Amino acid sequence: MQIDLSGRTALVTGSTQGIGLAIATALARAGARVVVNGRGEERVADAVRTVRAGSGSEDVTGAAGDLATEQGAADVLRAVPALDILVNNLGVFGSADPLEIDDAEWRRYFEVNVLSAVRLIRACLPGMKERGWGRILDLASDSAVAIPAEMIHYGMTKTALLAIGRGFAKDAAGTGVTVNSVIAGPTRTGGVEQFVRELVGDELPWDEAQRAFMVKYRPQSLIQRLIEPEEIANMVVYLASPLASATTGGALRVDGGYVDSILP
Ligand SMILES: NC(=O)c1ccc[n+]([C@@H]2O[C@H](COP(=O)([O-])OP(=O)(O)OC[C@H]3O[C@@H](n4cnc5c(N)ncnc54)[C@H](OP(=O)(O)O)[C@@H]3O)[C@@H](O)[C@H]2O)c1
Protein backbone atom coordinates (compact mmCIF):
# COMPACT_ATOMS: atom_id res chain seq x y z
CA MET A 1 0.00 0.00 0.00
CA GLN A 2 1.57 3.29 -1.08
CA ILE A 3 0.50 6.26 1.01
CA ASP A 4 1.46 9.61 -0.41
CA LEU A 5 0.26 12.70 1.40
CA SER A 6 2.40 15.19 -0.47
CA GLY A 7 0.54 18.41 -1.13
CA ARG A 8 -1.68 17.93 1.95
CA THR A 9 -1.43 20.09 5.05
CA ALA A 10 -2.10 18.55 8.46
CA LEU A 11 -2.51 19.98 11.96
CA VAL A 12 -2.00 17.58 14.88
CA THR A 13 -3.21 19.06 18.16
CA GLY A 14 -1.30 18.30 21.36
CA SER A 15 1.70 16.96 19.47
CA THR A 16 4.72 18.01 21.55
CA GLN A 17 4.95 14.47 22.99
CA GLY A 18 3.33 11.05 23.11
CA ILE A 19 0.85 9.84 20.52
CA GLY A 20 0.52 13.28 18.90
CA LEU A 21 4.26 13.50 18.29
CA ALA A 22 4.24 10.02 16.71
CA ILE A 23 1.28 10.98 14.49
CA ALA A 24 2.95 14.21 13.38
CA THR A 25 6.14 12.32 12.53
CA ALA A 26 4.29 9.61 10.61
CA LEU A 27 2.25 12.15 8.61
CA ALA A 28 5.43 14.08 7.74
CA ARG A 29 7.13 10.84 6.71
CA ALA A 30 4.18 10.16 4.39
CA GLY A 31 4.85 13.51 2.72
CA ALA A 32 2.31 15.82 4.40
CA ARG A 33 3.14 19.39 5.39
CA VAL A 34 2.70 19.16 9.16
CA VAL A 35 1.89 21.72 11.84
CA VAL A 36 2.58 20.65 15.44
CA ASN A 37 0.85 22.18 18.44
CA GLY A 38 1.18 22.50 22.18
CA ARG A 39 0.69 25.31 24.65
CA GLY A 40 4.23 26.73 24.83
CA GLU A 41 6.52 28.12 22.11
CA GLU A 42 9.60 26.33 23.41
CA ARG A 43 8.11 22.84 23.57
CA VAL A 44 6.54 23.36 20.15
CA ALA A 45 9.90 24.39 18.68
CA ASP A 46 11.51 21.27 20.23
CA ALA A 47 8.76 19.08 18.75
CA VAL A 48 9.23 20.65 15.29
CA ARG A 49 12.92 19.69 15.47
CA THR A 50 12.04 16.15 16.62
CA VAL A 51 9.49 15.65 13.84
CA ARG A 52 11.92 16.96 11.22
CA ALA A 53 14.64 14.62 12.47
CA GLY A 54 12.27 11.64 12.71
CA SER A 55 10.71 12.13 9.29
CA GLY A 56 13.50 13.59 7.20
CA SER A 57 11.06 16.32 6.11
CA GLU A 58 11.72 20.04 6.51
CA ASP A 59 8.07 20.85 5.83
CA VAL A 60 7.18 20.95 9.52
CA THR A 61 6.13 24.08 11.42
CA GLY A 62 4.65 24.84 14.82
CA ALA A 63 1.63 26.73 16.09
CA ALA A 64 1.57 27.28 19.84
CA GLY A 65 -1.74 27.91 21.59
CA ASP A 66 -3.95 26.61 24.36
CA LEU A 67 -6.73 24.96 22.38
CA ALA A 68 -8.95 24.76 25.43
CA THR A 69 -9.60 28.48 24.94
CA GLU A 70 -11.20 30.46 22.12
CA GLN A 71 -8.22 32.81 22.02
CA GLY A 72 -5.72 29.94 21.79
CA ALA A 73 -7.67 28.30 18.97
CA ALA A 74 -7.82 31.63 17.11
CA ASP A 75 -4.03 32.05 17.50
CA VAL A 76 -3.39 28.54 16.16
CA LEU A 77 -5.80 28.93 13.25
CA ARG A 78 -4.17 32.24 12.28
CA ALA A 79 -0.82 30.44 12.05
CA VAL A 80 -2.01 27.54 9.90
CA PRO A 81 -2.78 27.57 6.18
CA ALA A 82 -5.92 25.91 4.78
CA LEU A 83 -5.99 22.44 6.32
CA ASP A 84 -6.59 19.18 4.48
CA ILE A 85 -6.11 16.97 7.54
CA LEU A 86 -7.14 17.84 11.10
CA VAL A 87 -6.11 15.42 13.85
CA ASN A 88 -7.78 16.27 17.14
CA ASN A 89 -5.32 14.38 19.30
CA LEU A 90 -5.25 16.71 22.30
CA GLY A 91 -6.63 15.09 25.43
CA VAL A 92 -5.98 15.16 29.15
CA PHE A 93 -6.66 12.27 31.49
CA GLY A 94 -6.38 11.38 35.14
CA SER A 95 -8.17 9.35 37.76
CA ALA A 96 -10.46 10.74 40.44
CA ASP A 97 -13.11 9.56 42.87
CA PRO A 98 -16.25 10.14 40.77
CA LEU A 99 -18.12 11.72 43.67
CA GLU A 100 -15.29 14.18 44.23
CA ILE A 101 -15.13 15.58 40.68
CA ASP A 102 -16.52 19.10 41.02
CA ASP A 103 -18.25 21.27 38.39
CA ALA A 104 -15.04 23.07 37.47
CA GLU A 105 -13.26 19.79 36.74
CA TRP A 106 -16.17 18.46 34.66
CA ARG A 107 -16.07 21.73 32.65
CA ARG A 108 -12.28 21.57 32.25
CA TYR A 109 -12.45 18.05 30.82
CA PHE A 110 -15.22 19.07 28.46
CA GLU A 111 -13.42 22.20 27.31
CA VAL A 112 -9.99 20.59 26.81
CA ASN A 113 -11.05 17.26 25.32
CA VAL A 114 -14.30 18.04 23.52
CA LEU A 115 -14.83 21.73 22.84
CA SER A 116 -11.25 22.12 21.54
CA ALA A 117 -12.07 19.57 18.83
CA VAL A 118 -15.51 20.98 18.00
CA ARG A 119 -14.08 24.49 17.64
CA LEU A 120 -11.43 23.36 15.16
CA ILE A 121 -13.88 21.22 13.19
CA ARG A 122 -16.24 24.21 12.94
CA ALA A 123 -13.39 26.33 11.62
CA CYS A 124 -11.91 23.81 9.17
CA LEU A 125 -14.80 21.77 7.80
CA PRO A 126 -16.35 24.47 5.55
CA GLY A 127 -13.05 25.00 3.66
CA MET A 128 -12.52 21.24 3.30
CA LYS A 129 -16.04 20.86 1.89
CA GLU A 130 -15.49 23.70 -0.55
CA ARG A 131 -12.24 22.14 -1.77
CA GLY A 132 -13.92 18.72 -2.02
CA TRP A 133 -11.40 16.83 0.10
CA GLY A 134 -10.58 16.61 3.78
CA ARG A 135 -9.87 14.30 6.67
CA ILE A 136 -10.90 14.87 10.28
CA LEU A 137 -9.75 12.42 12.93
CA ASP A 138 -10.55 12.49 16.63
CA LEU A 139 -8.50 10.52 19.14
CA ALA A 140 -10.92 8.58 21.31
CA SER A 141 -10.08 5.83 23.78
CA ASP A 142 -11.18 2.46 25.05
CA SER A 143 -12.55 4.58 27.91
CA ALA A 144 -15.18 5.89 25.48
CA VAL A 145 -16.92 2.52 25.46
CA ALA A 146 -15.64 0.85 28.64
CA ILE A 147 -16.01 3.72 31.10
CA PRO A 148 -13.57 3.28 34.01
CA ALA A 149 -15.19 4.04 37.38
CA GLU A 150 -12.21 6.20 38.32
CA MET A 151 -12.21 8.13 35.04
CA ILE A 152 -15.87 8.90 34.36
CA HIS A 153 -15.09 12.51 33.42
CA TYR A 154 -12.46 11.36 30.92
CA GLY A 155 -14.67 8.58 29.53
CA MET A 156 -17.51 11.06 29.05
CA THR A 157 -15.32 13.25 26.83
CA LYS A 158 -14.21 10.31 24.70
CA THR A 159 -17.78 9.04 24.23
CA ALA A 160 -18.68 12.60 23.23
CA LEU A 161 -15.95 12.55 20.57
CA LEU A 162 -17.46 9.40 19.03
CA ALA A 163 -20.81 11.18 18.80
CA ILE A 164 -19.22 14.29 17.34
CA GLY A 165 -17.31 12.29 14.74
CA ARG A 166 -20.43 10.47 13.61
CA GLY A 167 -22.46 13.70 13.54
CA PHE A 168 -19.97 15.78 11.58
CA ALA A 169 -19.48 12.89 9.14
CA LYS A 170 -23.20 13.26 8.36
CA ASP A 171 -22.75 17.00 7.97
CA ALA A 172 -19.95 16.30 5.46
CA ALA A 173 -21.94 13.66 3.54
CA GLY A 174 -21.17 13.55 -0.16
CA THR A 175 -18.45 16.22 -0.04
CA GLY A 176 -15.26 14.15 -0.20
CA VAL A 177 -14.53 14.95 3.45
CA THR A 178 -14.41 12.03 5.89
CA VAL A 179 -14.66 12.20 9.67
CA ASN A 180 -13.62 9.29 11.88
CA SER A 181 -12.57 8.48 15.44
CA VAL A 182 -9.64 6.32 16.44
CA ILE A 183 -10.16 4.30 19.61
CA ALA A 184 -6.70 4.02 21.12
CA GLY A 185 -6.01 1.52 23.88
CA PRO A 186 -3.34 1.65 26.64
CA THR A 187 -0.33 3.16 24.90
CA ARG A 188 3.32 3.51 25.87
CA THR A 189 3.69 7.24 26.46
CA GLY A 190 5.90 8.90 29.07
CA GLY A 191 3.06 9.23 31.57
CA VAL A 192 1.89 5.66 31.13
CA GLU A 193 5.45 4.28 31.40
CA GLN A 194 5.90 6.08 34.70
CA PHE A 195 2.55 4.71 35.90
CA VAL A 196 3.67 1.14 35.01
CA ARG A 197 6.94 1.59 36.90
CA GLU A 198 5.07 2.93 39.95
CA LEU A 199 2.94 -0.22 40.02
CA VAL A 200 5.45 -2.96 39.16
CA GLY A 201 8.75 -1.39 40.23
CA ASP A 202 12.04 -0.63 38.48
CA GLU A 203 13.76 -4.01 38.67
CA LEU A 204 12.27 -5.81 35.67
CA PRO A 205 13.44 -5.00 32.13
CA TRP A 206 10.80 -2.98 30.26
CA ASP A 207 9.25 -5.85 28.27
CA GLU A 208 8.71 -7.96 31.37
CA ALA A 209 7.53 -4.96 33.39
CA GLN A 210 4.86 -4.03 30.87
CA ARG A 211 3.71 -7.63 30.53
CA ALA A 212 3.41 -7.94 34.32
CA PHE A 213 1.45 -4.69 34.37
CA MET A 214 -0.89 -5.76 31.58
CA VAL A 215 -1.58 -9.23 32.99
CA LYS A 216 -2.35 -7.87 36.45
CA TYR A 217 -3.96 -4.49 35.74
CA ARG A 218 -5.20 -4.65 32.12
CA PRO A 219 -6.10 -8.35 31.66
CA GLN A 220 -8.61 -7.52 28.90
CA SER A 221 -5.78 -6.68 26.50
CA LEU A 222 -5.38 -9.40 23.89
CA ILE A 223 -1.87 -8.31 22.93
CA GLN A 224 -0.78 -8.27 26.60
CA ARG A 225 1.53 -5.32 26.10
CA LEU A 226 1.17 -1.60 25.76
CA ILE A 227 0.55 -0.24 22.29
CA GLU A 228 3.41 1.76 20.77
CA PRO A 229 2.45 5.33 19.73
CA GLU A 230 3.59 4.50 16.18
CA GLU A 231 0.92 1.78 15.98
CA ILE A 232 -1.77 4.42 16.61
CA ALA A 233 -0.06 6.70 14.09
CA ASN A 234 -0.22 3.98 11.41
CA MET A 235 -4.02 3.93 11.61
CA VAL A 236 -4.20 7.72 11.56
CA VAL A 237 -1.98 7.95 8.47
CA TYR A 238 -4.11 5.37 6.67
CA LEU A 239 -7.37 7.14 7.58
CA ALA A 240 -5.84 10.47 6.55
CA SER A 241 -4.93 9.09 3.15
CA PRO A 242 -6.88 8.92 -0.11
CA LEU A 243 -6.91 5.13 0.33
CA ALA A 244 -9.46 5.43 3.16
CA SER A 245 -12.00 7.30 1.02
CA ALA A 246 -14.88 4.91 1.83
CA THR A 247 -14.40 5.02 5.60
CA THR A 248 -16.37 7.78 7.31
CA GLY A 249 -18.54 8.24 10.38
CA GLY A 250 -16.71 5.34 11.98
CA ALA A 251 -14.76 4.49 15.10
CA LEU A 252 -11.68 2.41 14.31
CA ARG A 253 -9.95 0.48 17.06
CA VAL A 254 -6.23 0.33 17.77
CA ASP A 255 -6.78 -0.97 21.27
CA GLY A 256 -4.92 -4.29 21.28
CA GLY A 257 -8.29 -6.03 21.56
CA TYR A 258 -8.89 -4.32 24.91
CA VAL A 259 -12.57 -3.59 24.37
CA ASP A 260 -14.44 -6.89 24.60
CA SER A 261 -16.73 -6.40 21.66
CA ILE A 262 -16.78 -7.22 17.97
CA LEU A 263 -18.07 -3.79 16.93
CA PRO A 264 -16.92 -1.13 16.28
N1 LIG B 1 -1.68 7.27 26.40
C2 LIG B 1 -2.67 6.40 26.35
O3 LIG B 1 -2.57 5.26 26.85
C4 LIG B 1 -3.96 6.75 25.64
C5 LIG B 1 -4.94 5.76 25.50
C6 LIG B 1 -6.12 6.05 24.82
C7 LIG B 1 -6.31 7.30 24.28
N8 LIG B 1 -5.35 8.26 24.43
C9 LIG B 1 -5.63 9.59 23.85
O10 LIG B 1 -4.60 9.93 22.93
C11 LIG B 1 -4.36 11.32 22.95
C12 LIG B 1 -2.90 11.60 23.23
O13 LIG B 1 -2.56 11.02 24.47
P14 LIG B 1 -1.06 11.04 25.04
O15 LIG B 1 -1.01 10.03 26.12
O16 LIG B 1 -0.11 10.97 23.91
O17 LIG B 1 -1.02 12.51 25.70
P18 LIG B 1 0.16 13.23 26.49
O19 LIG B 1 1.43 12.47 26.39
O20 LIG B 1 -0.36 13.61 27.84
O21 LIG B 1 0.33 14.57 25.62
C22 LIG B 1 -0.66 15.54 25.62
C23 LIG B 1 -0.29 16.60 24.61
O24 LIG B 1 -1.29 17.61 24.62
C25 LIG B 1 -0.69 18.89 24.74
N26 LIG B 1 -1.64 19.75 25.45
C27 LIG B 1 -2.15 19.59 26.69
N28 LIG B 1 -3.07 20.53 26.95
C29 LIG B 1 -3.14 21.31 25.82
C30 LIG B 1 -3.94 22.43 25.43
N31 LIG B 1 -4.84 22.95 26.26
N32 LIG B 1 -3.77 22.97 24.19
C33 LIG B 1 -2.86 22.44 23.32
N34 LIG B 1 -2.09 21.36 23.63
C35 LIG B 1 -2.23 20.82 24.86
C36 LIG B 1 0.61 18.65 25.47
O37 LIG B 1 1.56 19.62 25.08
P38 LIG B 1 2.14 20.81 26.02
O39 LIG B 1 2.27 20.23 27.40
O40 LIG B 1 3.45 21.10 25.35
O41 LIG B 1 1.13 21.90 25.92
C42 LIG B 1 1.02 17.29 24.89
O43 LIG B 1 1.69 17.46 23.65
C44 LIG B 1 -5.32 11.90 24.00
O45 LIG B 1 -6.49 12.35 23.39
C46 LIG B 1 -5.62 10.71 24.88
O47 LIG B 1 -6.86 10.81 25.54
C48 LIG B 1 -4.19 8.02 25.10
pLDDT tens readout for residues 33-60: 999 999 999 999 999 999 999 999 999 9
The SS3 call for residue 134 is strand
Burial class for 54, CB neighbours closer than 10 Å (0-12, 13-18, 19+) = middle
Atom in ligand 1 nearest the alpha carbon of residue 158 = 47
Whether 65 and 16 share a structural domain: yes
User: Do residues 202 and 73 both lie within one domain?
Assistant: no
- Pairing mode of beta strands 177-184, 251-254: parallel
The phi and psi torsions of 3 (rounded to 5 degrees) equal -110, 120
Which atom of ligand 1 lies at the shortest distance from residue 226's CA? Answer: 3
**Percentage of the chain surpassing pLDDT 70?**
100
Confidence of residue 81 (pLDDT cuts 50, 70, 90): confident
- Which range of residues forms the domain containing residue 123? 9-187+228-251
pLDDT digits (tens, 9 = 90+) for 84-105: 999 999 999 999 999 999 999 9
Give the Cα separation of 101 and 48 in Å (integer): 36
Residue 136 is assigned to a structural domain of this protein: yes
Q: What is the dihedral of CA 180, 189, 146, 236, to 10 degrees?
A: 10
- Asked if residue 203 belongs to a domain, the reply is yes
Residue owning the nearest CA to atom 47 of ligand 1: 91
The pLDDT value given to residue 70: 97
Same domain, 126 and 63: yes
Same domain? For 220 and 93 the reply is no
222 and 232 assigned to the same domain: no
Number of domains within the chain: 2
Mark whether 124 and 112 lie in a shared domain.
yes
The pLDDT assigned to 263 comes to 84
Residue 264 has pLDDT above 80, yes or no: no
Q: Quick one: 163 and 202 in the same domain?
A: no
Task: Please indicate, yes or no, whether residues 172 and 234 belong to a single structural domain of this protein.
Answer: yes
154 is catalytic: yes
Active-site hit among 109, 154, 238, 258? 154
105 within a domain of the structure (yes/no): yes
Is residue 1 one of the residues assigned to a domain? no
Instruction: Check which CATH number belongs to the domain holding 51 and give it.
Output: 3.40.50.720
Nearest residue to 63 via CA among 87, 83, 31, 39: 39
Are residues 144 and 182 both part of a single domain?
Answer: yes
Do 217 and 135 lie in one domain? The reply is no
Q: Among 11, 19, 120, which is best to mutate for testing ligand 1, by the most ligand atoms less than 8 A from CB?
A: 19
Sorting pLDDT into bands at 50, 70 and 90, what band is 166? very high
Is the same domain home to 134 and 219? no
Task: Give me ligand 1 centre to Cα 18, in Å.
Answer: 7
**Residue 258, domain member (yes or no):** no
Check whether residue 140 and residue 235 sit in a common domain. Answer: yes
CB atoms within 10 A of CB 82: 11
